[in-house]
Structure 1
Amino acid sequence: MRYSHPNDPNAGRLIESLRHLGYGNYEAVADIVDNSIDADAQNINIRVQTKSNQIIISIADDGRGMSKSILDQAMRLGSLTDRNAESDLGKFGMGLVTASLSMAKKLHVVSRGDDGCWSSAWDVDEIVAQNAFLKHFEAATSDEEELLAEEIGKKKTGTLVLLSKCDNLANKNTSSFASNLRSHLGRVHRYFIGAGRVVTVNGEPVEAIDPLQLADPDTETVLDDVISVTLTDDGEKKTDNVRVRVVLIPESPVTDLDVGKSLKAQGFYVMRNQREVMNAAALGFFTKHNDFNRMRGELFFPGTLDRLVGIEFTKRQVEFEQSLQDQLNNVLIPVCRTIKRREATKKRVQSGEAQLKLHAQSMKVIAEKDKLLIKPKAVIEKRSSPRNGSGVQVDDALDTNKERKNFNRSQLVETRLNCVIREERLGPNGQIYECEMEGRKLVIRYNVEHPFYQRFVTDNMDEARAVTATDFLIYSMASAELKFLDEGDLEAVNNFKAVLSANLRTLLN
């Protein structure tokens, strides 16, 4: 079979498709900043401005700059520039072009390398009009050299990226865009900024934002260790290390750059070559819940493990290869469980005998009518046979189980459920209740500090029917929540309950 017939893509249609690969605006700018860091830039200046009623974004750096041949490659789709997987932030050789064109129709680059100053540009309108992948490429004009010099000063090398015809910006308020961009870059590139790289947006410095709040003396380190993983590449086995860190941020954060204790911020931050590629994700190690509001984790991977990590094109998502997922599960699932148990226990209160009897009566009725009730599926975990410890040490105060088991993904099954009603202190401003599945148990956690509980339970201890009716109402709400909830809806459901709880708090007080 011969493969010799030309099969060039339709340039006009393909370029429009490439503009919608899934980049967010701030992620796209971060991808361009990656190139500056890879070029050893110490100063990166970003401007988001309006000129002649057009928004123009510029990214300038004082890095190595690009020679004629390197710039020619960088302005191609799938460039062939050399990359160091152990340290470089770029991966696919398409970031400069695709990240830029996701926001703007025109990309213009001026770069001074070791063989002079060169200029190259893409324009989507020109590509569509001529239906061909054509670019501008020639020695920089004196005006272009002056434009670059204004940004990098007396530095001998550097690069200026100019984005114009910005038609794909979600936020066209330049001040707001710049502010959001500073926050995004401060978190994504926090380790580079902390090491001395200077990044500015519209003249204001980008401050490193650490979601783990490691500088706070009250942040508690639960786990900080290294896992050795094996990768088979072209039949050859290679071993590399993954650093795993889990902390509990303080009860009352006081830093100006506090990212907040919330469902949105809890979870694991995945770092590739010290650059964040995914933030606040559960990654199968736990299910987001208010008991994890203080938990933050980091997973540090070298670029050499890209295949195992399954990094996505825009560097915003990962999908672990199963062997890596299993190794991480063995370490992190027990840690997450212990954190949840500890945080939940801190909130629990000793119920009075009268409350216990009334709640027990409610639970008995629910159990008797289990087959008639519409309820969520039980979370049953499949485990392989026990095996010895992985060698990773966990804080003894948090890990009482010295022998680890191989934890696989949980499965949902239709089965009989036991309802468990607990009373906990979730705060006067907390929600009316929280709920979760614990294996075959549907656990309801009343907030004894909310006026709803005080009005409908505490004040009605002599009215058993009123208390059990309240239990049935909360059970029914919890069942509906857990039956139809998936992780993507978690924030919306939490916001719904927050509004419900806030309104009832106001009306009942």
Structure 2
Amino acid sequence: MGATRNVPPAAGAMLESLRGLGYTTATAIADLIDNSVSAEADHVDVVFEWNGPDSWVRVADNGRGMSDAELEAAMRLGARDPRTQRRPGDLGRFGMGLKTASFSQARILTVASSKAGHERCCLRWDLDLLGGAEGSWLLHEGARTGSKDRVEAGLTEDTGTVVLWENLDRVVTDGFTAQDLIELIEQVDGHLAMTFHRLIDDGLEIRINGRRVRSWDPFLTGHPGKAMESVEYRLQNAAGVVAQCHVLPHKDLLKPAEYESAAGPVGWPAQEGFYIYRNRRLLLAGGWLGLGERGRRWTRDEAHRLARIRLDIPNSVDAEWKINILKSTASVPVRLRSQLTRLASETRDVAKKVFAHRGRLVTGRGEAGGGIPDMWAVHHAASGNSYRISKQHDLVASILDRAGPLRSDILSLLSLIAETVPVQKIWLDTAEQTNVSRGNFAAAPDEIETTLTSLFEALVEFRGLSPDEARLRLSRTPPFDQHPDIVQRIGGHEE
């Protein structure tokens, strides 16, 4: 063996470099809560205290706590080998989260802990005190002068751990005000509500400045307006990997508060796609993981905004899925890509239909007992799709059959309407506005009945259906399927 040299990293320079990993305040606090969950805590209390440059953040839990030796190990960078097998419920991996998350926000990290059968212990990193001899990693005992009360106030249980951030130089920057802190707290609340929503539903209680964090379910589980909520699929050749496909309701089927909530922290388009969980903790929210079809990767777009797929993975496959330290990126193993592509493709297809048909998926149109054909037909061409009023629509076909010398004028009118439909404007209005008109029929029963009567006569006199058959088809055709009482009155029929 050749000569070797021992080249330890310079403590201060290394830690300053690690501060730039890319944490936000919300993701950093979520990393601390991961440790609380791993320590079997069921209550986590987050406190933001505004005091200008001396503002601080504290995260306290009632977990099993740590002994002095365990705390010292936890404060060491790279405390655990990421290749080591974890307990099934462990949310950690790299042994870096406590330190890197904390240093991304603050220059002083103090951790105190109480464990049954052990004395309370407290250790502190201070980045301003690491500039000594090269290779020195000076870990201080106890809180800094004047901060002991801040730590002690968080240790209200017999067991538990307190993490205190001080000198928040990455948070309280020039111009940062108390109002900015209030807005930051709201961002953290939204992120924790999403990240830990399943654990919160299981009994984990998280409070921010005394206010309980309410879980945010990205799938609107159990909502009656959903077009898809599949069974759980266990992927082949992937032990413990489970997928469930969801298509959320169209905005027309949601109350305003539901629609606003379902948009999530960053809005509808950004929230579509896969949601990857490890031990029921959300790692990645939205996006299509680089999957696609016919050589093209899927991107987030309006047409598929209602598609969301839950994907659970065990904590033993982090390396295979390339989970990073921030728990913010993942890559699908090659052997699973075809299975997930198929599930995603089916989910996207349903989502697109729901989006296009405003949430009403009527099967069997044009068949016996089905609804009547759509008024609009799509024509596909190399230059793009175009939209035409369908001449196969029963009312249109009936009018053209009876039009006589006006037939050519009516066809010209239909062509003109088709050529001047403001497709782009309608698309933008539908995508951007929360209150898009559902059509005049919803507020004009007389107009509904007049239109239904014309359609009924076309079906009976032109298509040769019986009155009952005509009413059945109309009852399965949007938007008339929303008015069954009026449909039943057509043709002098009453239930």
Instruction: Give TM class, smaller chain.
Output: 0.5 to 0.7
Aligned partner letter, 2:242: R
Between stretches 29-38 and 160-169, larger displacement belongs to 160-169
Residue-by-residue CA offset, 1:114-157 (whole Å, 9 max, x unaligned): 4211111111222245554523343679997765453242x221
Pairwise mapping of residues 289-308 of structure 1 onto structure 2 (< 5 A)?
289-308=301-320
Aligned partner letter, 1:245: Q
Tell me, in whole angstroms, the C-alpha distance in 1 between the residues paired with 2:80 and 2:305.
44
Between stretches 242-251 and 270-279, larger displacement belongs to 242-251
Contact 2:245 2:343 in 1 (8 A): no
Which residue number corresponds to residue 247 of structure 1? 246
Match of 2:300 among 252, 274, 288: 288
Residue-by-residue CA offset, 1:262-295 (whole Å, 9 max, x unaligned): 2122222111111001102222254433232322
Tell me, in whole angstroms, the C-alpha distance in 1 between the residues paired with 2:383 and 2:415.
21
Contact 1:87 1:302 in 2 (8 A): no
Is 1:120–2:123 an aligned residue pair?
yes
Between stretches 74-83 and 11-20, larger displacement belongs to 74-83
Contact 2:111 2:124 in 1 (8 A): yes
Which residue number corresponds to residue 275 of structure 1? 281
Pairwise mapping of residues 228-377 of structure 1 onto structure 2 (< 5 A)?
228-230=235-237, 240-251=239-250, 252-254=253-255, 258-260=261-263, 262-283=268-289, 284=291, 286-341=298-353, 343-344=355-356, 350=374
* Counterparts in 2 of 1:3 and 1:31: CA distance versus 1, 3 Å: farther
Tell me, in whole angstroms, the C-alpha distance in 1 between the residues paired with 2:417 and 2:374.
22
Match of 2:86 among 84, 87, 91: 84
Match of 2:229 among 222, 231, 239: 222
| CA displacement at 1:223 relative to structure 2 | 1.8
Aligned partner letter, 2:166: S
Tell me, in whole angstroms, the C-alpha distance in 1 between the residues paired with 2:270 and 2:386.
26
* Counterparts in 2 of 1:211 and 1:342: CA distance versus 1, 3 Å: closer
Which residue number corresponds to residue 196 of structure 1? 203
Aligned partner letter, 2:10: N
Pairwise mapping of residues 406-425 of structure 1 onto structure 2 (< 5 A)?
417-422=382-387
Tell me, in whole angstroms, the C-alpha distance in 2 between the residues paired with 1:34 and 1:351.
53
Which residue number corresponds to residue 184 of structure 2? 177
Tell me, in whole angstroms, the C-alpha distance in 1 between the residues paired with 2:388 and 2:215.
40
| CA displacement at 1:162 relative to structure 2 | 0.6
Structure number with greater Rg is 2
Tell me, in whole angstroms, the C-alpha distance in 1 between the residues paired with 2:274 and 2:210.
32
| CA displacement at 1:160 relative to structure 2 | 0.8
Tell me, in whole angstroms, the C-alpha distance in 2 between the residues paired with 1:263 and 1:63.
37
Tell me, in whole angstroms, the C-alpha distance in 1 between the residues paired with 2:301 and 2:145.
59
| CA displacement at 1:332 relative to structure 2 | 2.8
More strand per residue: 1 or 2? 1
Is 1:25–2:25 an aligned residue pair?
yes
Tell me, in whole angstroms, the C-alpha distance in 2 between the residues paired with 1:42 and 1:208.
15
Contact 1:118 1:140 in 2 (8 A): no
Cα RMSD of the aligned pairs, angstroms, is: 3.8
Which residue number corresponds to residue 68 of structure 1? 68
| CA displacement at 1:95 relative to structure 2 | 0.3
Which residue number corresponds to residue 442 of structure 2? none
Secondary structure of 2:86's aligned partner: coil
Contact 1:245 1:299 in 2 (8 A): yes
* Counterparts in 2 of 1:137 and 1:287: CA distance versus 1, 3 Å: same
| CA displacement at 1:351 relative to structure 2 | 5.3
| CA displacement at 1:11 relative to structure 2 | 2.8
Tell me, in whole angstroms, the C-alpha distance in 1 between the residues paired with 2:222 and 2:350.
24
Percent identity, aligned pairs only?
A: 24
Contact 2:113 2:162 in 1 (8 A): yes
Tell me, in whole angstroms, the C-alpha distance in 2 between the residues paired with 1:463 and 1:333.
35
Pairwise mapping of residues 123-202 of structure 1 onto structure 2 (< 5 A)?
123-128=126-131, 130-138=133-141, 147-153=150-156, 155-169=157-171, 173-202=180-209
Contact 2:44 2:59 in 1 (8 A): yes
Tell me, in whole angstroms, the C-alpha distance in 2 between the residues paired with 1:344 and 1:85.
46
Contact 1:110 1:145 in 2 (8 A): no
Structure 1-normalised TM-score?
A: 0.65
Residue-by-residue CA offset, 1:320-370 (whole Å, 9 max, x unaligned): 221122332233323323442454356899558xxx8xx98xx9xxx7xxx
| CA displacement at 1:204 relative to structure 2 | 0.6
| CA displacement at 1:89 relative to structure 2 | 0.7
Aligned partner letter, 2:38: D
Contact 1:223 1:247 in 2 (8 A): yes
What are the ranges of 5 or more consecutive residues in structure 1 without an aligned counterpart?
Answer: 231-238, 368-416, 425-460, 478-492, 503-509
* Counterparts in 2 of 1:3 and 1:71: CA distance versus 1, 3 Å: farther
Aligned partner letter, 2:338: D
Contact 1:198 1:206 in 2 (8 A): yes
Tell me, in whole angstroms, the C-alpha distance in 2 between the residues paired with 1:128 and 1:223.
57
Structure 2-normalised TM-score?
A: 0.67
